[in-house]
Amino acid sequence: MSREGREFDIVLLGATGFVGGLIADYLVSNAPSAARLSLAGRNRAKLEGVRARLGTDVSLMTVDASDPKAMRTLADRTRVLITTVGPYILHGGPVVAACAEAGTDYLDLTGEPEFVDLTYLKHHVRAVKTGARLVHACGFDSVPHDLGAQFTVDQLPEGVPLTVRGYVRMNGNFSGGTVASALEIMARLRSGRATHDLRRELELPPSGRTARVVTGRIGRNRDTGWWVVPMPTIDPQIVAASARLLPRYGPDFSYSHFWASGSPLAAAGLVGGAGAILAAAQIPAARRALGRLRPSGSGPSPEQREQSWFKVRFFGEGAGSSVVTEVAGGDPGYTETAKMISEAALCLAFDNLPQTSGQMTTASSMGSALRLRLEAAGITFSVLPADPEGVRPT
């Protein structure tokens, strides 16, 4: 479907939320002067408050994300739609459906594997026909990992089996929206597995190639010397999806994803804490109590975000060659997430990209174009020197 003549280049849905406000700040400050932007949400008074804070005359749209008809009208008016309205498994369905029907590029911040799988099952085929690019996980989940793995693959030989391992270190805080999404994922593990199994039955694998996730083990790691714990996040799923879509990842690609620390006590605490929260999430009353610890719409202060950071180190191997790379930036969950999804929207709206459609990833839909934008915005992608034994970076 042609998107020429549409009223807006980018619409931000959920602009009155905590992360939505940060994205609005970034877009207004960094979009080209000719960019046609709009902020959307349910509460007109709150939208007007955001506009007043921004000091701009950006257009506003009052709309309910749960209304399919209203979402279709909104999608018809814009070339790219960003949504921050989550948990996406509860609130995201009408939004992504509208974009798939309208041929509108769609971006979200989901870390919910079940929602990603449902989008593929329900909307991928239609989006391929209309030309919509449906791109999930455009924040810290999973841009540094997806583009970092792609950057690592680009340093390795072509046409050979490749292995990449990612190690995440970070210091940051969580917003109410992040907590709500995480608890929803944990409460829906059984339905999430069933949905993923159905997708695996129906999705055609790439011809003559394989791409898989290798879980890995808890313990001290030979690559880094750090204590590591496999991360059961959406990130490995996104990296593997990119590998299936892009032949550059070779005939047999495997990826492992870990949280890393210099302390065995920290690793043990993570495992124990995650287990306790997972158990509590199965009990509705306990899940509600955990959610009240960080209410929706709340988040870390500017001072807290200023002290936050992330580093993701990748070890890649193939055909006797090896490389160590690193992606690094500031506050992962909020400042840098707002930057990542905003630059992704600007990339889809204004950059000369390959013709793609359907459910995509940041690597398969934007790749190096988005990486260059993020580098210009202060997120680093580096090849690290190895030590004399060629095992660990100096």
**Tens digit of each residue's pLDDT (9 = 90 or more) over 6-34:** 999 999 999 999 999 999 999 999 999 99
Residue type, 56: T
Bridge partners of residue 238, in order along the sequence: none
Neighbours of 265 (CB within 10 A): 9
In a domain, 393, yes or no: no
Its domain, for residue 153, covers 143-335+375-384
Indicate if 90 and 174 belong to the same structural domain: no
Indicate if 45 and 133 belong to the same structural domain: yes
Bridge partners of residue 166, in order along the sequence: 257, 314
Indicate if 119 and 228 belong to the same structural domain: no
3-state secondary structure of 322: strand
In a domain, 392, yes or no: no
Neighbours of 131 (CB within 10 A): 17
Q: What is the CATH number of the domain that holds 106?
A: 3.40.50.720
Number of DSSP helices (H) and strands (E) in the chain, helices first = 16, 15
Of 148, 196, 157, residue with least CA distance to 327: 148
In a domain, 390, yes or no: no
CB 30 within 8 A of CB 369: no
Indicate if 117 and 172 belong to the same structural domain: no
Task: State pTM to two decimals.
Answer: 0.91
What is the rounded distance in angstroms from the CA atom of residue 314 to the CA atom of residue 163? 10
In whole numbers, what is the pLDDT of the chain averaged over residues? 89
Average pLDDT (369-390) is 88
In a domain, 275, yes or no: yes
Indicate if 358 and 323 belong to the same structural domain: no
Indicate if 127 and 171 belong to the same structural domain: no
In a domain, 330, yes or no: yes
Indicate if 267 and 197 belong to the same structural domain: yes
Q: Which residues contact 101 (CB under 8 A, 6 or more apart)?
A: 72, 75, 126, 130
CB 310 within 8 A of CB 141: no
Of 192, 178, 172, residue with least CA distance to 277: 178
Query: Looking only at Cα atoms, what is the longest distance across the chain?
Result: 62
115-167 residue pLDDT tens: 999 999 999 999 999 999 999 999 999 999 999 999 999 999 999 999 999 99
In a domain, 348, yes or no: yes
Question: For residue 216, is pLDDT > 90?
Answer: no
In a domain, 3, yes or no: no
160-213 residue pLDDT tens: 999 999 999 998 775 555 656 666 666 777 888 999 999 999 998 898 999 999
Indicate if 50 and 24 belong to the same structural domain: yes
Of 323, 279, 345, 294, residue with least CA distance to 20: 345
Q: Is the peptide bond before 236 cis (omega within 30 degrees of 0)?
A: no
Q: Is the peptide bond before 142 cis (omega within 30 degrees of 0)?
A: yes
The percent of residues above 90 in pLDDT, for the chain, comes to 74
Q: Which two tokens stand for residue 171?
A: 């210091």
Estimate to the nearest angstrom the gap between the alpha carbon of 236 and the chain centroid: 11
Q: How many CA atoms lie within 13 A of 388 on its CB side?
A: 0
DSSP for 158-173, written as a single string: SSS-EEEEEEEEEE--
Indicate if 162 and 188 belong to the same structural domain: yes
Indicate if 225 and 257 belong to the same structural domain: yes
Indicate if 240 and 250 belong to the same structural domain: yes
Indicate if 279 and 347 belong to the same structural domain: no
In a domain, 19, yes or no: yes
Number of domains forming the structure of the chain: 2
